Amino acid sequence: MQVDFLIVGQGLAGTLLAQALRARGQKVAVVDDGWKSAASQVAAGLMTPLTGRRFTLTPSYPELVAFAERRLTELGVFRPTSVYRMFADDEQKEKGQKRAAMPAYAPFIERVTAGQGELDAGLTDALGGVLMRGAWVDLKKLLADERARLEADGALVIADFQPDEVQSQAEGVVWRTIQARGVVYCDGYKSAQRGPFRYLPWQPAKGEAVSLRSDAPQKPFILNREGWALPLGQGLWRTGTNWAWDQLDEVPTEVQREKLLKRFRGYFGQEVSVEVTAHVAGVRPCTADNLPLLGSHPTEAHTHLFNGLGPRGTVWAPVLAEEMAAYLEAGQPIRPEVNLRRFS
């Protein structure tokens, strides 16, 4: 088979890049190992404007999220939702209240509360919190819809891709029966462990999430304090997550399960029942400077990377998939802050 680009991995990055390249008239084939290590299948896909202990709104967030909303709405997977970030301590309260009052933050703030029960009598928000305009992305649907499209086109290969099986030629690459002008690694944290882009400063981080059934009163917003709980209706919730830098694998642990359930129960002012229906783990493709990694290998001209989406893939990926496609197809520049050339 002859294609323009062979994409390795069909997570969020590979999915949106395949679509952006097709929209530019490029023929793609995708090789994926059946989502064996897909962070995108584990993530809740939340978009929260104010993040970190300092309640920071990153300068690029408004631009990125406006684009993401448009694109993901077209794809039927964007779910606008408020997020209630409860202050965990007095320092957070001071920072959060100060930031929420700044003009640049106004479009993302619905309400600031100062004490328990102002927003909802059933929560343990003793210090109050910030109700933000956020969203979550239905990543499972996004990936499943694209998988069906690739299968219908005969453009999906289910296989465990090994970088050393790729042969470089003057005009492109050959992998098994596929000839391509280029290969693009969208294989998440696996690029940190082997292959041509291992030299980059990756900092992959494992996280876990639990799906559960509970009699906890459903809320019209996502609960957020040192983690999150996403109400899915009819007594169903998803809750997560944690950060771990050792044991990078997809194996959920008993320790984290107990921590996540304790945190979930702790959001409510009353006893709530909990029945776990699923418990999953994944590894975020994080980087040393918290920014994505896009571009071409310094010495292998047909070998490219669209990766490093870190903990906020839903915010970055829609814009960057377009930019990566424009780079691959037409040689347009990649914005410097995400260009992998920033690391020599």
Ligand X SMILES: Cc1cc2nc3c(=O)[nH]c(=O)nc-3n(C[C@H](O)[C@H](O)[C@H](O)COP(=O)(O)OP(=O)(O)OC[C@H]3O[C@@H](n4cnc5c(N)ncnc54)[C@H](O)[C@@H]3O)c2cc1C
Distances (CA, A) of 266 to 43, 58, 80, 86: 22, 29, 25, 12
* Euclidean distance between CA atoms 44 and 10, whole angstroms: 17
Among 46, 130, 305, 328, binds ligand X (CB under 6 A): 46
By CB under 6 A, name the one of 188, 227, 252, 318 that touches ligand X. Answer: 188
Who contacts 229 (Cβ-Cβ below 8 Å, separation ≥6)?
222, 223, 237, 238, 239, 264, 267
CB of 27 to ligand X, least distance (A): 19
Nearest approach, Cβ of residue 114 and ligand X (Å) = 27
**By rule CB under 6 A, what string of x and - marks binding of each residue 108-147 to ligand X?**
----------------------------------------
Nearer to ligand X, 36 or 341 (CB): 36
The span of 2-10, 81-89, 218-226, 252-260 binding ligand X (CB under 6 A) equals 2-10
Instruction: Pick the closer one to ligand X by CB: 128 or 207.
Output: 207
Nearest Cα to Cα of residue 81 among 222, 219, 237, 236: 222
Nearest C-alpha neighbor of 213 from the set 234, 241, 240: 234
* Residue 181 beta carbon to ligand X: minimum distance, rounded to whole angstroms: 20
Residue number, nearest CB to ligand X: 11
Stretch that binds ligand X, among 84-92, 119-127, 307-315, 321-329 (CB under 6 A): 307-315
Q: Is 44 in the site for ligand X (CB under 6 A)?
A: yes
Q: Does 161 bind ligand X (CB under 6 A)?
A: yes
Nearer to ligand X, 121 or 251 (CB): 251
Which of residues 74, 160, 165, 258 is near ligand X by CB under 6 A? 160
Residue 15 preceded by cis peptide, ω within 30: no
Binding of ligand X at residue 19 (CB under 6 A)?
no
Rounded-to-integer distance, Cα 96 and Cα 86, Å: 10
**What is the rounded distance in angstroms from the CA atom of residue 12 to the CA atom of residue 308?**
11
CB of 117 to ligand X, least distance (A): 27
Cα(197)–Cα(293) distance, integer angstroms = 10
Q: Which stretch binds ligand X (CB under 6 A): 5-13, 114-122, 196-204, 263-271?
A: 5-13
CB-based contacts of 114-123 (< 8 A; 24+ apart in sequence): 119/84, 120/84, 120/219, 121/269, 122/217, 122/268, 122/269, 122/270, 123/84, 123/86, 123/223, 123/267, 123/268, 123/269
Question: Considering the complex, what minimum distance in angstroms separates the CB of residue 22 from ligand X?
Answer: 17
Write the single-letter amino acid at 250: E
Helix residue ranges, H only, 57-188? 61-74, 90-100, 139-152
Q: Does 156 contact ligand X by CB under 6 A? A: no
Binding to ligand X by residue 92, rule CB under 6 A?
A: no
In the range 190-229, which residues lie near ligand X by CB under 6 A?
190, 207-209
Residue 287 binds ligand X (CB under 6 A): no
Q: How far apart are CA 206 and CA 285, in angstroms?
A: 9
Q: Which of 182, 240, 252, 318 binds ligand X (CB under 6 A)?
A: 240
Let me know: does 10 contact 18? Beta carbons within 8 Å: yes
Q: Count the Cβ atoms, other than its own, within 10 Å of residue 26.
A: 16
- Kindly tell me which of 269 and 280 has the beta carbon lying closer to ligand X: 280
When the beta carbons of 34 and 115 are compared against ligand X, the nearer one is: 34
Half-sphere exposure for 133 (CA within 13 Å, toward CB): 11
Contact residues for ligand X, defined by CB under 6 A = 8-14, 31-33, 35-40, 42-46, 160-161, 186-188, 190, 207-209, 240-241, 282-285, 307, 309-315
